[in-house]
Amino acid sequence: MTTYDDRERGFEKKFALDQEQEFKAAARRNRALGHWAGALMGLQPPHSDDYAKAVVKSDLELPGEEDVFRKVFEDLKGSGVAVTEGEVRMKMAELLAQARESVRAGE
């Protein structure tokens, strides 16, 4: 085993850890986004929890976050909530930053 092999293995482990943390952060962001949107639509528990789960599931439909954005934005508009695309995208970015911090802190 050479130092190069050890380094390569270390980079692979770091990459795998980073990918796992990003997946967890995205799932947390989606759940929080679902609760935020549910509150705007006037959903009460357990309906808001069910909606948050549906938002998390929507992320598994297509790669990327556009499927999540589309679901939340269309649901908000369909419920009569006056919200812009920019507001939803800003909330998504804000919640992702919070989720990343939470995952890195081990919460």
Tens of pLDDT, residue by residue, the chain (107 residues): 688 788 888 889 988 888 999 999 999 999 999 999 999 999 999 999 999 999 999 988 787 899 999 999 999 999 999 999 999 999 999 999 999 999 999 87
Own/partner contacts of 68-72, CB < 8 Å, gap of 24 or more, are: 68/30, 68/33, 68/92, 72/33, 72/34, 72/37
Structural domains for the chain: 24-104 (1.10.790.20)
Tokens describing residue 76: 């908000």
CB-CB contact of 38 with 52 (8 Å): yes
Q: How many CB atoms lie within 10 A of CB 31?
A: 17
pLDDT at 107: 78
pLDDT at 1: 62
Tokens describing residue 107: 């919460």
